[in-house]
Amino acid sequence: MKRVLISDAVDRRAADLFINEGFIVRYAPGIAKEELNKIIHDFHALVVRSETKVDEALIGKMQNMLVIGRAGTGVDNIDVNAATRKGIVVMNTPGGNTISTAEHAMSLILSLCRNIPQADASIKAGRWDRKLYKGSELHNKTLGVIGLGKIGREVAHRAKGFSMQVIGYDPLLTAEAAAKIGVTLVDLDEIFSKSDIITVHVPLDENTKHLIRKETLSKCKDGVKIINCARGGIVHESDLVDAINSGKVSGAALDVYEQEPPDFSSELFKHPKIVTTPHLGASTEEAQEKVAVQIAEQIIAYFNNNIIDGAVNAAALSSLSNTRLAPYVKLAELMGMFLAQIIEGKILKIRINHYGELLSESNGLISSSVTKGFLLKRQIESVNLINASFFAREAGVVVEEIYLVSHPDYTNYLSVEFISEKETATSGGAVLGNSALRIVSVNNYRIEFAPQGDLLVYTNDDRPGRLASVSNLLAENNINVGGVSLGRTRVGEEALTIICMDGEPGKGLIGRISQINGLKRVFPVKF
């Protein structure tokens, strides 16, 4: 029975959904770090918002963890690399708080342009400062939206309702797609030079950290306003304060900060031209219930039906729900295991050719499976479909995928090539009928065998008596032959032999077989 820990203030509906599905749930928002470290080994799933810091140290204590779910979009508080190395799926709920965050961004824009927080504080202090808080209209102003994902698009849509001119920057969006939502796509420099108000809606990464800083602010129109409802760290806070003090920036509204909770002694929180809120973008009843239900449903679907949705480190696994693809996923792993045992030298590259419409739907799953098989035979026992690609990159192995329309002999066909510092080895595989897994080629040889059990693989001169000599040695060691597959290019030249055995040959026996006249390369293979 799966055990779920909810360590942050996630809506209780999430816990109810888990309980109704038979999960054991501990609902412990605000749990102390010391207690969390003590109990985390006992759980299979962890659900968090932004309060729990799921760092490498905590992940290191996770002995049974299979999935970490973030009830929200950002995963800044989760060490995704450490989770991936551990083979743990990290999920989030993209879109669950889209409307709430977009509305909050618009609220900040309006609050900043009309001085609403300052005017409210003034009148509550008994003053009537009408002239002091003269604002500016949104009508005909230019809004620059950096990041046109779900939230950025919703902000743009609402801004159009205020008759604003909306320009946007997003390297993943085409000009045609932007035009369909009423946004003119421009480069970053045009965002800075043309916008009256700039709002950011991008994740925090090495490319966006301190995107709004002294250098970029200097490119802006005088009097520009800055809005950040995305992630702390995108705006360089001290540079922003300096720009406001110099008059370059007329005001800013922030919902997120480089440090949370922040240092309230900073000038940022005392400045009369800066509106601040405590990370409220997703804090609506509707959004919190939506993301809680969504993350619970995603985790339940993962455990009950092997469906992966919203994974940030295992997108390829979403294809696992394709039952037609499942036999090829297993075949890919077995082919990776096979090639790992018949090639010498450090592997530099794995090249995977997918033939056929079905394999074109694998979305990286086939390559993860091949890589998993290879790594399992290279003594990385903790490898799974989640961390296989991570471990391969760590080992310096380049994995290349090629998708081809058709194969002359098979409707769907998988070709795998391993390139080492010494040689190249290839194999081809197919699924016959509904579930018969077969390797049908090895290097240049046409050959067919089932990748299972113990095999003996060797090349030999194509002369009479070679197979008999090997069979005699196996018989002497009480190892029965279950089947033989033979392949050759021309009569009398080098041939390939694969023997299916009912037992595992020891090193001594492999040494004796290798000494048989005419045998060249002998490999024991185990699946």
pLDDT in tens, 453-474: 999 999 999 889 999 999 999 9
DSSP states of 293-360 as a string?
HHHHHHHHHHHHH----SBSS-GGGGGGG-TTTHHHHHHHHHHHHHHHHS--S-EEEEEEEEESTTGG
In a domain, 461, yes or no: yes
The total number of structural domains in the chain stands at: 4
Q: What are phi and psi of 369, to 5 degrees?
A: -70, -45
- Which pair of tokens denotes residue 160? 């159009």
CA–CA gap between residue 279 and residue 198 (Å, rounded):
18
Task: Note the pLDDT of residue 11.
Answer: 94
Domain that holds residue 516: 453-527
Same domain, 491 and 418: no
User: Is residue 281 included in any domain, yes or no?
Assistant: no
Instruction: Decide if pLDDT at 423 tops 90.
Output: yes
CA distance 444 to 379: 28
Neighbours of 3 (CB within 10 A): 16
Domain of 404, CATH number, reads 3.30.1330.90
Which among 161, 156, 130, 153 is positioned nearest to 143, based on CA atoms?
Answer: 156
In a domain, 441, yes or no: yes
Q: pLDDT-based confidence at 7, cuts 50/70/90?
A: very high
C-beta separation of 72 from 256 below 8 A: no
Q: Which of helix, strand or coil describes residue 446?
A: strand
Give tens-digit pLDDT for 178-229.
Answer: 999 999 999 999 999 999 999 999 988 888 999 999 999 999 999 999 999 9
**Mean pLDDT confidence for 400-423:** 94
Please provide the size of the chain in residues.
Answer: 527
Co-location of 480 and 386 in the same domain:
no
489, pLDDT greater than 90: no
Mean pLDDT of 374-397: 86
Asked whether residue 82 is domain-assigned, the answer is: yes
Using alpha carbons, select from 281, 243, 353 the residue that is nearest to residue 49.
281
The answer to whether position 305 is within a domain reads: yes
Peptide bond into 262 cis (omega under 30): no
Residue 214 lies in a domain: yes
| Same domain as 467, residue 446 | no
* Residue 172 pLDDT class (50, 70, 90 cuts): confident
Residues 412 and 485 in one domain: no
**What CATH number corresponds to the domain at position 478?**
3.30.70.260
From 451, 474, 507, give the residue that closes a domain: 451
Same domain for 46 and 9: yes
Confidence class for position 381, pLDDT limits 50, 70, 90: low
CATH number at residue 72: 3.40.50.720
Q: How high is the mean pLDDT of the chain?
A: 93
Are residue 338 and residue 441 in the same domain, yes or no?
yes
Confidence (pLDDT) at 380: 65
Which of 451, 482, 502 marks a domain boundary? 451
Q: Hey, what are 211's tokens?
A: 């995107």
Look at residue 397 in the predicted model and tell me its pLDDT.
94
Q: How far apart are alpha carbons 302 and 66 in whole angstroms?
A: 10
Query: Could you give the residue numbers annotated as active site?
Result: 231, 260, 279
Give the three-class secondary structure for 461.
strand
At 127, list the tokens.
Answer: 């003053």
- Residue 98 makes CB contacts below 8 A (sequence gap 6+) with 150, 151, 154
In this structure, the answer to whether residues 390 and 421 fall within a common structural domain is yes
Choose the final residue of a domain: 451, 480, 512.
Answer: 451
Residue 133: CA count within 13 A, CB half-sphere:
19
